[in-house]
Structure 1
Amino acid sequence: MIILIYIIISLGLFEIGSNLYHLLKGNKETIALSAKRQHQELSMKLESHHFFIKVVIMFVFGILFTGSGLLALINANFHFFYVVLGLFALYGVVQALYYRRPYKVWMSLIVYITPFILLLFLSKNAHGTTKEFVINQTIHENFVFPFILAVEPIKRLLVVSFKGDPEYEMIEPQYYDDLCFGKGLRVLMYRTDKKIDVYYQPDVFFDSTTFAVGKGLGIASKVQMSPDRFEILKTGVDVDIAFTDYKGRRIELLIKENSVNHDRLPFLAPVGNDMEKPSKLLLAYMQEFDFVNREGTIIHAQVGDRKLTPSKFAIKRNGQKTYFARYASKLTIGEINPPNTALFVLENAQGNIKTGIHNFSLNKEQMVTNYWLDYGPDRIDIKFENGFPNLLSLPQNQQMKGTWIYSVSGTVLTGGEYSLLRKGDLVLIEMDVTKKWEPKDLPLSLRAFTYFVRSFRVWPTTYKWSGRANLMDMSIQGSWIRK
């Protein structure tokens, strides 16, 4: 296809040059002889005004050939093929009108019109392998990709549930140590109305506009915390945190665990299950997860003068009774399609490509098979079994579908389907999560717990993302919904 475009551009430049020369010179005989050399069958006895009309027509066709061909190459837009080949076919019809011999007329029509008819036929019947053929006739080096991954760099966290309190259900300290997010503590306090109060140390970054846990943000306040200890040791959790809330009350959380029997587990936190209006699909994979043992543990929580009573968990861990207080280190918290306005435009899209922290792998058909981020020793990635096509190469008004899976260092957590529909320079995109989490390496008691409490496994499948990509300015708009 690209060869044909170059041929048409060359033909256009030839027509512009030769016919401009004839228009400026105004010599009928030279015009006729030039036409004969081009086509070998043109009449040399046409009237003067016929020559003039023919030269003007061919000059205009030359401009259209060159302009359309260049637009097809520069913009890498599939529908320009129709324009160029349509003009090519019309050019053949006009040329055929000047032939005297019938067989030359038919030969001209066949040569010029066949490519246009062939393209229409392939596009109309594009499905299965034929569709892939049409998509992969790329005439450009840029690759446009719509999805984006991100990582929230929490180093460790603890979630403590309480019973019977009129104001708060849970307290969640989070520890950060990151160049972008800062170093220190952020404490989430889950209210009974499902909103979240957030308190964070001065050196920790917090963006209230993207916070979407529960029913949304309640109070956000930057505070001094003293003490501010949060460690996860071999003996368990060691937490001592205190600060003053927005009402002037002192908030205290103290947990000192002293246990030697900790066989920590991998677990997908169901944090996304409580998001009413999600701004992203948040997948918090805890590779070293455990519950706080009751025996030998000091635990104290207080809001002002009111003491909080920790909830107990019905399932034992390693034969020990536990609180419904769970903690994790070695966290890999991935985000799929957080708020974003720009498409990925990958230049020289071949093989493996790296742009900033984002990595892409393309197959021989120039389709993305893997997109990933490296996070310390771990990797989060989205794989496309049959490849993800270049948005620039999509056919018009034909829905394309495929599948994807999300994994952390080779452990599959979820996945689903995507669909693409191009209309002009807009592409309508959907990413549907259909694969539930399948727990692995859990003891029988916890496996049974996640089986009967289905929300732990199926909550990702309640998410769906819809977006619209604009190929003119390479922008994208999209949002998540709960199905």
Structure 2
Amino acid sequence: MRSARREHDEDMANPDPVHAVQWPLSVHLETIDAMVNFEIHNHPVYTGVEVQSFDDEAHGTGVLVLMCRADNGKVDVYQQPGLTIDRSGYGIAAGLGDWFTVDISPAVLEVSDSGVHVDIKFDDKIGRAIEIQVDDRNGKRRCTAEFLAPVGAEIEHPTELMLVWMRRFDLVRQTGIDPVVRIDGESIRIGRLPGRWMHRRHLIKVASDLWIVSVNPDESKGTLDAHGPGEANAQLHLSPPPPAPGMLKPGEVLTGKWSVSIGDHADVVSGTWKCAGTPVVALTFAVTRGWQPRQLPLFMRVVTTVLPMFRRWPTTYMWEARADVRDGYKVEATWRRTVHKKNLYTKVTS
């Protein structure tokens, strides 16, 4: 009888197509140096703005601005020359709109322990001047927290499960300098949280050192352990790993668990997997447990409790891959939303 080691070595030297086909399971990691984000209310053209800054070898140094359009929910992106950005990660909201390289001057986005300083000005695609000025530096140290951004809650047609982990998150503080947002010379009304007299925060979200984790993205590269600059890392854990498409026996149904860890935070989201069916074998990933916040400042704990979408939105995602044994085990995979409806967030903050 041949040993198991010898059989394994021969299989590796002469791979069987049935054994060689694998599910496109992977985790991908990108980083963003800093971010400022806010909603706009009652404007005919835009519903939200986000400014991102980069300063690393992979992306270069500079800023880009995301403008969410009111007419169709798509996001237009304006970037400074010289940045190298993977556009596939910007299919948020109703999807990616137009992408422009423009002169942004001034282009200031500084987030430090002492405060936030933003000074942005550029013209959009039809010549409207976009101006953003924020400054909450008051000589006091900011109190930040790690926070999972609910970006995925508004994505209508997901190509991945996007987990935006903000390692230093805060809201802009009320100081003697009020934020200024102007579009085409007109001052714009931004969202706000109830009880501002108590928490003394503007609803302008700010974060530094962001890790963007993508689970089973389209065009999967097949790594379960992703690393970025410095200590940035994320893992996709499988217990046990699902069988390869060609290894499932007729009538067999197998199940297991999966989870994603980000940095030293285990099980940021988790769920179950199920593999069944022939001649079309299906592998599904369900998200059964959303984010469980820990050690948040009091006002952030209140917000994530009153608005449970901050914790539960990942559970509205489902991933399914299919492999047809009659077509050479060709694998097709997609994410979809099991529930997608407007939540209380917009109503409460408008």
TM-score (norm 1): 0.62
Q: Distance in 1 between matches of 2:16 and 2:65?
A: 49
| 2:194 aligned counterpart, secondary structure | strand
- Distance in 1 of aligned mates of 2:329 and 2:57: 29
- Find out whether 1:295 has 2:142 as its counterpart: no
* Aligned equivalent of 2:115, options 230, 236, 242: 236
User: Per-residue deviation at 1:210?
Assistant: 5.7
Q: CA RMSD in A?
A: 3.1
Matched, 1:407 2:287: no
- d(CA) in 2 for partners of 1:308 and 1:476? 48
User: Which residue pairs with 1:367 in the alignment?
Assistant: none
CA change 1:294–1:157 in 2 (3 A) is same
Contact kept? 1:257, 1:297, Cα under 8 Å: yes
Per-residue deviation at 1:294?
1.6
Which amino acid counterpart does residue 111 of structure 2 have in structure 1?
I
SS of aligned partner of 1:445: helix
1:136-151 paired onto structure 2 within 5 Å: 144-151=22-29
Does structure 2 retain, via aligned residues, the 8 Å contact 1:255–1:298?
yes
In structure 1, C-alpha distance between the alignment counterparts of 2:271 and 2:332, rounded to whole Å: 20
SS at 2:137's partner residue? coil
How far off its partner does 1:404 sit? Answer: 0.7
Which residue of 427, 435, 452 corresponds with 2:289? Answer: 435
Contact 2:50 2:65 in 1 (8 A): yes
Q: In the alignment, which of 14, 17, 27 is matched to residue 74 of structure 1?
A: 14
Distance 1:3 1:232, change over 3 A: closer
Q: How does 1:37-436 map to 2 (within 5 A)?
A: 74-76=14-16, 144-193=22-71, 194-206=73-85, 211-259=90-138, 260-315=140-195, 320-340=199-219, 344=222, 358=223, 371-375=224-228, 376-391=230-245, 393-411=247-265, 412-421=267-276, 423=278, 427-436=281-290
Instruction: Give 3-state SS (helix, strand or coil) of 2:260's partner.
Output: strand
Give the TM-score normalised by structure 2: 0.83
Residue pair 1:153, 1:181 contacting (<8 A) in 2 also: no
**CA–CA distance in structure 2, aligned partners of residues 236 and 205 of structure 1:** 28
Q: How far 1:206 moved relative to its partner?
A: 4.4
Q: Which has the higher helix share?
A: 1
CA distance in 2, matches of 1:153, 1:237: 19
Counterpart code for 1:408 = I
Instruction: Using the TM superposition, give the Cα deviation of residue 219 of structure 1 relative to its aligned residue in structure 2, in angstroms.
Output: 2.9
Deviation at 1:387, TM superposition (A): 4.1
* Counterpart AA for 1:183: T
1:283-303 deviation line (CA, Å, top 9, x unaligned) = 001121000012233421111
Between the two proteins, what is the percent identity of the paired residues?
Answer: 28
Task: Supply the distance in 2 between the matched residues of 1:453 and 1:430 (Cα, whole angstroms).
Answer: 28
Bigger relative contact order (CA 8 A; separation at least 6): 2
C-alpha deviation, 1:434, in angstroms: 1.3
Counterpart for residue 308 of structure 2: 454
- Which of 1 and 2 has greater Rg? 1
Q: Cα 1:182–1:279, aligned 2, differ >3 Å: closer, same or farther?
A: farther
Is the CA contact 1:341–1:476 (under 8 Å) kept in the aligned structure 2?
Answer: no
1:172 deviates by: 0.5
1-structure distance, mates of 2:159, 2:84: 18
Paired residues of 2:59 and 2:83 also in contact (CA < 8 A)? yes
Question: What residue is the counterpart of 1:42 in the other structure?
Answer: none
SS across alignment from 1:327 = strand
Contact 2:38–2:49 under 8 Å retained in 1:
yes
- Deviation of the 1:446 alpha carbon: 2.3
Identify if the C-alpha distance between structure 1 residues 434 and 157 changes in structure 2 by more than 3 Å, giving closer, same or farther. same
Q: Report the count of equivalent residues.
A: 330
| Residues 237, 210 of structure 1: alpha-carbon distance in 2 compared, 3 angstrom cutoff | closer
Gapped runs of 5+ residues in structure 1?
8-69, 79-139, 345-357, 359-370
Distance apart, 1:198 and its partner CA:
1.3
Distance 2:80 2:186 in 1: 24
Aligned residue identity for 2:215: I
Q: Which amino acid aligns with 1:265?
A: A
